[in-house]
Structure 1
């Protein structure tokens, strides 16, 4: 149980320190229900704010979710939605394309060992492409639990990747998730920069 509390605390601290709670989650009430892990094909793991090379993040990673003790239960029938979003598009000071939607997959099930499988891709994976000289961008993976019995066929469609199609700067996944009554259960992120 203490390991679960430590992991949850470390997750919140990392997300807060890097401004993700304020800029992406837009709420301080998030309590992770598990550890969200992602690893790119070149064996580079996403680790709460580590820096990864842009070239190594162009293919979709393998993603796993490990529920924390006391935060379940998660069953094999639960449907999940995984997203990747960039709140720094085109830069941290210029939010005209923020947030930029890099990926959405819904109706995912948790397989053996917490591996996320199946699902329906709503927005195909597009790897990071931070403009040269715009500093490190935060690329944020978020895992949501869908309402019981609800599939992605009823979700608000995403009209465009910049601003998640809402047309207003600094708008994105939080608004879309709220509209679709998705519950955030896990988060992780990495930094990437084009110097």
Structure 2
């Protein structure tokens, strides 16, 4: 029993932490619950720019679907599901449409690990904020039931809930997530840094 607890503690220490940017930006909390990343997610805009957590982009940067690369920490032979949502729709002061679903891709083969090789269940709709700075969140789940059977498309884009979607489709916790900030094309200013409570 003591040895099992010690092994569990060692495993917890070996798990990669949730990226601090996801916690500080309240992506973890507003969109996702705590999770243990088991893959790295790399996002490239159509012009080839690499996007990191918290990168600021304009609608022109994300007019076309981004290119993604999913790199699992351990060997995986299966499929992924990608969800892309706006956590601040229609505006950060009154996000009554949150989450707004911008993109849903299923059956992404682990062997290819890019969104272009999956089944686009909800067509990509580029973010076009009209007010404020929006957190656009991309989340990757590992499908548990194989190709074509794991995920059902939602009925609407507004008031989509990533957590409920994951639960309804038996996807479990995310394996990777990334977010960027997006504001209107000619917008100015920036997101205020989070305050500690």
Normalized against structure 2, the TM-score is what?
0.80
**1:70-114 Cα distance to aligned partner (Å, 9 max, x none):** xx2312xx11101110110011221221100000010110235x4
1:60 aligned partner = 65
2:29 aligned partner = 22
Q: Matches of residues 155-194 of structure 1 in structure 2 within 5 Å? A: 155-164=151-160, 172-183=161-172, 184-194=174-184
For the pair 1:44 / 2:43, whether they are aligned, the reply is no
For the pair 1:130 / 2:137, whether they are aligned, the reply is no
Greater Rg over alpha carbons, structure: 2
**How far did 1:139 drift?**
0.5
Gaps of 5+ in 2: 1-12, 188-197
**How far did 1:129 drift?**
0.8
**1:114-162 Cα distance to aligned partner (Å, 9 max, x none):** 445522111011111111xx2210011111001143x444534311111
Tell me how far apart the structure 1 counterparts of residues 151 and 177 of structure 2 sit (CA, whole Å): 21
1:91 aligned partner = 91
User: How many residue pairs were aligned?
Assistant: 172
Gaps of 5+ in 1: 165-171
SS at match of 2:31: helix
Tell me how far apart the structure 1 counterparts of residues 156 and 114 of structure 2 sit (CA, whole Å): 29
**1:42-65 Cα distance to aligned partner (Å, 9 max, x none):** 122220111112211010111101
- Is this contact kept in 2: 1:136–1:192, CA < 8 A? yes
C-alpha RMSD over aligned residues: 2.1
Tell me how far apart the structure 2 counterparts of residues 67 and 38 of structure 1 sit (CA, whole Å): 15
For the pair 1:146 / 2:135, whether they are aligned, the reply is no
Tell me how far apart the structure 1 counterparts of residues 14 and 51 of structure 2 sit (CA, whole Å): 18
SS at match of 1:190: strand
SS at match of 1:163: coil
